[in-house]
Amino acid sequence: QQLKRNLPAYLSPWRASPCVFRSSKSELMPNIASDGVACAPLQTFTEEETMLKNMVTKFAQERVTPFVQKMDENSKMEDSVIQGLFEQGLMSIELGEEYGGTGASFFSVILVVEELAKVDPAVALLCELQNTLTNRLFTTYGTEEQKRTYLPRVAKDTIGSFCLSEAGSGSDAFSLKTRAEKQGDYYIINGSKMWISLAEHAGVFFVMANTDPSLGHRGITCFIVDRNTEGLHVGKKEDKLGIRASSTCPVTFENVKVPETNILGQVGQGYKYAIGMLNTGRIGIAAQMLGLAQGCFDHTIPYTKERVQFGKSIFDFQVL
């Protein structure tokens, strides 16, 4: 319903037909290569997918572009940009309508991320992580109670953050020091995480902690921790070289008390969930990089035509 209210009437078919977001089965239109040989494009879009693509392009140009430089300089995502992503349904693309989502497909997520990245990769990253990590963790491993509690929130206004990396566990991501000790119907979490994406604005965290160090990575369990939980502290943002509007922060846990019902999935299975979700997320990151490259190209070509050296535009030099 959220997406339907905020999209123009001419985009209603996109909202009404979620099945069209799968890989396109529309008729392939031949392209003519430079040697005159007809060939099919690598990807074609249905009419509804084209509508989605155009809608996101328009949103990015009108709602994101005016703030790109400011967000990069200040290392801070504009609140209106975040609000716009939620209003347009771009933070809950695959979620079912019963939770406030749009009921679309993973292909739609990739399409949206690529278009956003053409304007700002930080905004694209926010959208990508919300859809491929936060939403998928809940829908894949969450209990019915957890879904009822959290999915409407992440569809409406709550950002999720995935807490895995630690200062001493970078490439060896599962040598975690963060511990979760069981006390009755609760777990007490102590430890710290580093380089946590979206931590500044996140309202809910997926925290990987070891419940049984003797089992190594097989003791790692995923906990759902709300931001306002006592003992959870988000530290100072990293001053990064790029994608600066997307926050990257340390997060510490000091005797954080989490109910047993906030375990995501099964005890000791957290490492499996992390591997599965991160693999899915890498597809989204590839879309982000592709969109970023296309955005750079789109800005470069007009410049080469305007820049004049030695009596002609640099676009006309053979080296370019």
CA–CA gap between residue 279 and residue 269 (Å, rounded):
16
Say what the pTM is: 0.84
CA-to-CA separations, 86 to 79, 123, 309, in angstroms, rounded? 11, 12, 46
Considering the chain, tell me which residue range(s) the CATH 2.40.110.10 domain(s) occupy.
164-268
pLDDT (tens digit, 0 to 9) for every residue of the chain, 320 residues total? Answer: 444 444 444 444 445 444 444 444 443 444 444 455 555 566 788 888 889 999 999 999 999 999 999 999 999 999 999 999 999 999 999 999 999 999 999 999 999 999 999 999 999 999 999 999 999 999 999 999 999 999 999 999 999 999 999 998 766 767 899 999 999 999 999 999 999 999 999 999 999 999 999 999 999 999 999 999 999 999 999 999 999 999 999 999 999 999 999 999 999 999 999 999 989 999 999 999 999 999 999 999 999 999 999 989 999 888 87
| CATH domain 164-268 topology | Butyryl-CoA Dehydrogenase, subunit A; domain 2 (2.40.110)
pLDDT of residue 69: 97
Considering the chain, tell me which residue range(s) the CATH 1.10.540.10 domain(s) occupy.
2-157+276-300
Which residue, among 241, 205, 246, has the nearest Cα to 223 in the 3D structure?
Answer: 205
Query: Residue 39: what residue type?
Result: C
pLDDT of residue 120: 98
CATH of 2-157+276-300 among 2.60.40.10, 1.10.540.10, 3.30.420.40, 3.40.630.30: 1.10.540.10
CA–CA gap between residue 208 and residue 274 (Å, rounded):
9
